[in-house]
Chains A and B, each alone.
Chain A
Amino acid sequence: MFVYADHAATTKILPCALEAYNQTAWAFYGNPSSLHTEGQRAKEVLEKSRGEIAAVLNADPREIYFTSGGSEADNQAILSAAYAGAKKGKRKLISTAIEHHAVLHTLEKLQKEGFEVVLLPVGHEGIVKAEDVRDAIDENTALVSVMLANNEIGTLQPVEEIGKICREKGVLFHTDAVQAVGHIPVDVQSIGCDYLALSAHKFGGPKGVGVLYAKRGAPLSVLIAGGAQERGKRAGTEDLPAIAAMAAALKASVADMGTSSALLKKLQTKLIFGLSRIPHSSLNGDRERRLPGNVSFCFEGCEGEALLLYLDDEGICASSGSACTSGSLDPSHVLLAIGRVHDVAHGSLRLTLGPENTEADVDYLLEKIPEVVEKVRSFSPVWRDLREGKRQFIL
């Protein structure tokens, strides 16, 4: 059996998106910047896609900027707000400890340039408190950046409340919505954000394309110079087939959202219940306020990469926040931020379900995961010490 349970990493392209991709690549090959008919036909597809994506997000088409993906969008939003703030003497940037590295590394870069970066805690449930954001904002604050949904533990952040606070305080607000768009309703007006980043391949679109939503009037500086594309804010000939495919995937995901989200929640509940029966295991992040397909667990006494490799042998694609999978000695910053100690964080497993997963898939996961956890524990000296009382159980 084969079960793909790593949808937060990426998704398989939807048939409608692939069709849009192929059709556009073949029949609309012109450069949208060209004046001739072929170019203008391509331009029409570009603007139609922009309009469709804007409609889904409840934005104005002029607020949609196509990028190479979520990381670029995050980079551009944060750098734009920070540099605009610096011009007014505002050099404080507020974010959370569980952001994606596209946000955290950009903030680190700015910190080295002299900005003050405040990363707010998220508690055991993995959710930042809107009040903490309010308390952190002062007259020097240039930007608040809080993700909509976390990529590892799926927790949903109170972005609407935070957006309201930022508007009150006159501070720019960016949200990384890469994991949320296409999976839960996302409306830039109700969030009240100035910037929002999304990535097509997380909702059945192609890799290498995404969107930066930037509210009219929000500062926007240029990361990639060299042309007048995207209202002069992002140079480079547009990847039109990918953009058309992204629009198709987004429309389809949003149209199916009601049914797929209900199904995913049902599968998620079953999976969480089943995995909780593994001794000394624990769900990561808030049980309720999380993305419908996300199930993240820590299993004490076993290491995550070994789990993943044995699961892969059983045809199960999953992911982990262990150090070994990150290529460093530290496990996931998200798991550490929710209070998991290193020893436990190394034994994490993330399963992210998608609309094509079935109940039979979940049954298979629930058959194989306990077996594999037991196998990894069977030759773990940590597990032996725990069982023999030489080391205390944490979970």
Chain B
Amino acid sequence: MSLYSEKVMDHFRHPRNVGIIEDADGVGEVGNAKCGDIMKMYIKVQDGILVDVKFETFGCGSAIASSSMATEMIKGQPISEALKLTNKAVTEALGGLPAYKLHCSVLAEQAVQAAILDYYKRNNIPYDPDEFKCALCAHEHDHTADDGDEA
């Protein structure tokens, strides 16, 4: 018996694509330590394809599993496909999450978008802000006034 599904526990125990990419083409960080969850996503892009994805997560079991699952779902995919990744898809692939943990899968979706947005910005690639609503709001959430005081 466990709080989480077997799939969640598998990704938690054996997270896929853990680590950093030193020469990443895009890096996205969402969440904040104050709330207890930070996800950092690194992507390597070749010809519009995410040839490599890595993540680091400070957070609970479902946050770690969600980020691991998200990297697995987008690795090798074209950017256009990765942008379609939703928290719902991550949750379903994990065999469900407890209701109060759903925000962890939202963070995974935001982290993917934030990394791609960073890639677009670095390369001056025009983008449709509507496609990054999730990442943009996560970005604002990052810089709450009292966050800096505690660091």
Contact = CB atoms under 8 A, between A and B. Distances in A.
A339 to B, nearest CB: 11
Interface of B: 9, 12-13, 15, 18-20, 29, 33-40, 55-64, 100-101, 150-151
A304 B33 CA distance: 12
Interface residues of A, number: 27
A380 B60 contact: no
A342 interface: yes
A343 B33 CA distance: 5
A303 B56 contact: no
B51 to A, nearest CB: 21
A301 B101 CA distance: 20
Contacts, number: 76
Contacts of A305: 59-61
Query: A-B pairs with the 10 shortest C-beta distances?
Result: A324-B60, A305-B60, A343-B33, A381-B40, A346-B36, A381-B56, A342-B34, A323-B36, A341-B150, A380-B58
A199 B36 CA distance: 32
Given A313-B13, A379-B15, A329 B36 contact: yes
Nearest to A345: B36
A161 to B, nearest CB: 34
Given A324-B60, A329-B35, A342-B36, 13 more contacts: A302-B58, A303-B59, A309-B9, A309-B12, A323-B35, A323-B36, A324-B63, A331-B36, A343-B151, A346-B36, A379-B15, A379-B56, A381-B40
A392 B36 contact: no
B40 A306 contact: no
Contact of A382 (B18, B33, B63): B33
A380 B36 contact: no
A194 to B, nearest CB: 38
B134 to A, nearest CB: 18
A391 B151 CA distance: 6
A322 B57 contact: no
B59 A306 contact: yes
Q: Which of B12, B56, B57, B58 has the most CB of A within 10 A?
A: B58
Contacts of A329: 35-36
B60 A343 contact: no
Nearest to B41: A381
Interface in A284-322: 301-306, 309, 313, 322
Contacts of B64: 306, 379
A309 B61 contact: yes
Nearest to B54: A379
Contacts of A380: 38, 56-58
A392 B151 contact: yes
Interface in A167-184: none
A306 B13 CA distance: 10
A217 interface: no
B60 A306 contact: yes
B38 A382 contact: yes
Contacts of A313: 13
Contacts of B33: 342-343, 346, 382
Interface in A101-141: none
B12 A381 contact: no
Nearest to B38: A381
Contact of A384 (B13, B37, B56, B150): B56
26 contacts: A301-B58, A303-B36, A303-B37, A303-B58, A303-B60, A303-B63, A305-B61, A306-B59, A309-B12, A322-B36, A323-B35, A324-B36, A324-B59, A324-B61, A325-B60, A342-B36, A342-B150, A343-B34, A343-B150, A346-B36, A379-B64, A381-B29, A382-B33, A382-B38, A382-B58, A391-B151
